[in-house]
Amino acid sequence: MINRERLLAEFFELTRIDSPTKHERQIADLLKNRLSSIGMLVTEDEVGQVIGGNCGNVFAYLKGDLPEAPVLLLSAHMDTVEPCHNVEPVLQDGLITSAGATILGADDISGIAPILEALRTIQEHGVSHGDIQVILNVAEEGGLNGSKNLDITHLKADLGFVLDADGEPGAIIVAAPGQDRINVTIKGRAAHAGVAPEAGINAIVLAAKAMASIQLGRIDEETTSNIGTIQGGLATNIVAEKVEITCEARSRNLGKLEKQTAHMCDAFRRCAEEAGAIAEINVKRLYAPFTLAEESQVVDLALQAARDAGLKAVLGATGGGSDANFYNVYGIPCAVLGTGMQKFHTTEEFIKEENLYRTAKYVVEIIKAAAKVKK
């Protein structure tokens, strides 16, 4: 049923469009036209104005002929990470890569292109279906800011799927972590490092002591933490008065997330106070974790569709966030599906050509499976 030639050509076309985070206007306009040509009602929210971008989230709605079926959400994100300018996709021996100097953009064009192809396929073959909502988000990279700030009055779906994971088609992510961003500023006291070092309080040294006492890396199977950046000091002959540190904590368990974040904050605060310095700490919850029960309707639907598509269904958890984190918060049970993209966020990113076709077939089977259930 899938038109392979059309899907491959569209994947190549979309990856060639520059779409860095907060600069998705060009690809959004093209996709809005494509969705309209499929017969969908297309709108755009004003998230771009909220986050300082040039584009909002794209919403598209297709009426079905089965009003008793649940409204199905299909979602992917339009932005790509740097270096993403002048991408030139290359197909060789069944693998699609970039020419080498850029990322490929399979994250997340490998979600968008199969959604478009699946929608065309069901129309061309007269497949009965319920209502379908497509949401293409901006600014997913770097904090899920598109879905975090979207206008929830646009949401119509009962359940859904985000195509944005690196597993083979058939991989179904049913649990993902929440993330806390921790910004720390330690303020000590400046002094001449050669004349009167004892008069100073070195903020960099205090930060180092704190970090040495923090549990970092993999804490357990569902919890991680990391020190991301550290910046401070003016010169070697000045005792560093100030240092700024950015950190994160993640966990699929909300209680563990809060415990790890508190542990990290306490370490910075304690080391500063013991030396007579000040630790200013700001914690921001970027997104909450989610877990879907294996017996839930959305997971059951995904499993059935994988079988119908001839795919090996594998339920799993991830250490990364996606727009599904916010859809679940908004009350739409939403799983994340693997598209087969590999080594994303690097210039070695690639995807098997066959996985594009398998993903599109999977989406068709999801639409067909959703048509067989009741709201």
Residue 332: CB atoms within 10 A of its CB come to 22
46 in catalytic set: no
> Distance (Å, rounded) from C-alpha 120 to C-alpha 100?
32
- Asked if residue 37 lies in contact with residue 29, where contact means CB atoms within 8 angstroms, the answer is no
Residue among 374, 342, 357, 352 at smallest CA distance from 309: 357
- Asked if residue 55 lies in contact with residue 24, where contact means CB atoms within 8 angstroms, the answer is yes
Which stretches of 233-359 are assigned E, i.e. beta strand? 242-251, 278-287, 290-291, 314-317, 334-338, 350-352
Out of 140, 141, 323, 365, the active site residue is 140
Tokens of residue 70, six digits? 């649940």
> Distance (Å, rounded) from C-alpha 158 to C-alpha 271?
49
DSSP 179-197: EEEEEEEEE-B--BTTT-G
> Distance (Å, rounded) from C-alpha 292 to C-alpha 333?
7
Out of 79, 107, 108, 222, the active site residue is 79
> Distance (Å, rounded) from C-alpha 110 to C-alpha 243?
41
- Asked if residue 145 lies in contact with residue 31, where contact means CB atoms within 8 angstroms, the answer is no
79 in catalytic set: yes
Which residues are catalytically annotated? 79, 140
